[in-house]
A and B are shown apart, each in its own frame.
Chain A
Amino acid sequence: MKHNLYIQDVTLRDGMHAIKHQYGKEKLKEICIALDKAGVDAIEVAHGDGLAGGSFNYGFGAHTDWDWLEGLSEVMTNAVLTTLILPGIATIDDLKKAADLGVKSVRIATHCTEADIAPQHIEAAKKLGMDVGGFLMMAHMNEPKKLAEQALVMEAAGADCVYVTDSAGALMMDGVKERVRAFREVLKPETEIGIHCHHNLSFGVANTIVAMQEGANRLDASLAGMGAGAGNAPLEVLVAVLDKMGAKHGSDLYQLMDAADDLIRPLQTRPVRVDRETLSLGYAGVYSSFLLHSERAAEKYGLDTREILVELGNRKMVGGQEDMIVDVALDMLAKKKEA
């Protein structure tokens, strides 16, 4: 079916966070095939922190990005194979390797105030013939007008689309509306707008729909919400809602429901849901990927996960600063001993 909506699945990238980047190669391929068959427009594959994210800081993956990506483009018949990089972690060389493995689209992710570290990578991706999205993370930390200025930096470098990326799942519906509206006011009409939500305040689908109503056409979602924190907008739920709204898209609801329940839920060793820890992420405005790292630090040092998360929020830590979780935990431990 011809449609303007572009649904990008992030189960195999953001979903990595939920299982400490441990998808097996065959399982990942099986999920990728199911998504492709179900008609999603794009499938993103990478370590949760993007290409080359495998590290002590973010967690080593079960495989390298190259092993995960290898052979996928050959089995996909419909969807675009995409990936993601964070400048500062991955380099243009990594992008080239991905292109060699058949990746046709990439998102270049930066903190919501640091778009000017991305032009080098955006230009390189365009030269490789890729479709390019700019991905402004932790969008709740920048006000709409200023966020739109950052979007302009990415557009000027050649991005085909710019995303409002609510990495902390901290935006409420008005916050999404204002940001997408600010983008639409300044970006060229041909530049697309995307939305990426986390479900920490239970707004995953609602925020995605609000963004769509304000002009966003690229919507991120994942099977059973498989993603960092309380997860992303659950793909099968989003598609059900789009069906009920009569919005045109290319995905099949029942196939996605089956994939979510049969393929994904059995993999979730820690349930992906709104609970006291993941709710704390949205409440304190903290990067969703900090969840499992903070739970581990809390266990190791005998502290409360929530308190660690709230303190990370107080210190205004941004995506990528996972090393500061243990640092905060050690500070809290020292304070406790003093008392």
Chain B
Amino acid sequence: MSKIKVAIIGSGNIGTDLMIKILRLSETLEMSVMVGIDPDSDGLSRARRMDVATTHEGVDGLLKMPEWKDIKVIFDATSAKAHIYNWGKIEPFKDKKIVDLTPAAIGPYLIPAINFEIDDSLRNVNMVTCGGQATIPIVAAVNRVAKVHYGEIVASIASKSAGPGTRANIDEFTETTSEAIEKVGGAERGKAIIVLNPAEPPLVMRDTVFTLSEMADKEKIRKSIHDMVAEVQSYVPGYELHQEVQFEEIPESAPVFIEGLGLKHGLKTSVFLKVVGAGHYLPEYAGNLDIMTSAARACGERMVKSLT
């Protein structure tokens, strides 16, 4: 069985980590081209050292390469703005599919643990955000037991693991993640918060999920969450529950006031997660990088299933 050739656009932290994962771990994907815009970037030099073809002329450079015709999947790890341009260039090539790791979200959101049954005709899927990949499975786990009125997530990441692209566009994180909490997680209303912590040594990525749902059997919710954690672990080994699931009943006599929903009562569920990275490109603290690239790799492998 021959492997399917792929390219990565974007030679920053995410693109480089994904490249290493595909080279080391993938049984079905073959790393063909690494695309950047700065010939001196660490990601491109690393690709050259690992015998991966490179171009520093962006997607236009990629289209001119002899490798282009055999590439079936392109991972885009650039920015939302660049993705719109890149998709415009790639869309006419009907034999090629794209996994979008930017917040552009031209295609539907994909979170492997939740909606992996994608249609083979789908050519552009979006990976939400690192915080979304880590937390939205939990919102969905509660929602399959009890209707979630409100889902809120807090992602804490080490400052060192947040590249310049993330920093310059932090609103895209909050907006994209909030929307996906609703669309993929199933919450009526979603809210996302991101915090950067500069502590040394860097702290491992932490994510906290709060949901307010209809009152339900707590044991059923607890079990659903544990099952979901195991599901995510199948493609992100460093993903774990850091504390036992916490519950609090919010009675009708003392409701909370949620913007957009008004006064609400029900069951508050709090879930404390930890994501330890595999240490492929950045060290283990960068679980945010790892969960994004692991999910993207799983997604790329799923997309080529019918071809292999």
Contact = CB atoms under 8 A, between A and B. Distances in A.
Interface in B201-220: 203, 206, 208, 210, 212
Interface stretch (B6-14, B16-24, B229-237, B251-259): B251-259
Interface string A74-93: 00000000000001110111
B15 to A, nearest CB: 21
A331 B246 CA distance: 13
Given A88-B194, A91-B174, A92-B171, 5 more contacts: A55-B210, A64-B259, A117-B167, A323-B156, A327-B242
A320 interface: yes
A88 B159 contact: no
Nearest to B212: A56
A111 B208 contact: no
A321 B195 contact: yes
B196 A56 contact: no
B79 interface: no
Nearest to B263: A60
Contacts of B197: 111, 316-318, 321
A326 B171 contact: no
Interface string A305-328: 000000000011111110110110
Contact of B195 (A316, A320, A326): A320
Interface in A63-118: 63-64, 87-89, 91-93, 111, 113-114, 116-117
B156 A62 contact: no
A156 interface: no
Contacts of B208: 57, 323-324, 327
Interface of B: 152, 154, 156, 159, 164, 167-171, 173-175, 191, 193-199, 203, 206, 208, 210, 212, 242-244, 246, 256-259, 268, 270, 272
A25 to B, nearest CB: 12
Contacts of A317: 197
A255 interface: no
Interface residue SS majority, chain B: strand
Query: Shortest 8 CB-CB distances between A and B: which pairs?
Result: A323-B208, A316-B199, A56-B210, A320-B195, A91-B171, A113-B198, A88-B194, A330-B243
A23 to B, nearest CB: 13
A48 interface: no
Nearest to B207: A323
B284 to A, nearest CB: 17
Contacts, number: 106
Contacts of B243: 326-327, 330-331
A315 B197 CA distance: 11
A88 B195 contact: yes
Q: A63, A114, A315: which has the most chain B beta carbons within 10 Å?
A: A114
Given A119-B168, A120-B168, A120-B170, A326 B193 contact: no
Interface residues of A, number: 37
Interface of A: 52, 54-57, 60-64, 87-89, 91-93, 111, 113-114, 116-117, 119-121, 315-321, 323-324, 326-327, 330-331
B199 to A, nearest CB: 4
A54 B243 CA distance: 24
A114 B159 contact: yes
A319 to B, nearest CB: 8
Nearest to B168: A120
Indicate the member of A62, A64, A326, A327 with the most B CB atoms within 10 Å: A327
Given A88-B193, A316-B197, A324 B210 contact: no
Contacts of B198: 111, 113-114, 318
Given A87-B170, A87-B171, A316-B199, A55 B159 contact: no
B192 to A, nearest CB: 9
A117 B193 contact: no
A120 B257 contact: no
A330 B272 contact: yes
A143 B154 CA distance: 28
B98 to A, nearest CB: 26
Nearest to A138: B198
Nearest to B178: A91
Contacts of B194: 88
Contacts of B259: 52, 54, 64
Given A91-B175, A316-B197, A323 B257 contact: no
B199 A111 contact: no
A143 to B, nearest CB: 13
Contacts of A60: 256-258
Best-buried of A60, A61, A62, A113 by chain B (most CB within 10 Å)? A60
B116 to A, nearest CB: 28
10 contacts: A54-B259, A55-B191, A60-B258, A87-B171, A93-B175, A315-B203, A320-B195, A327-B206, A327-B242, A331-B243
A89 B170 CA distance: 9
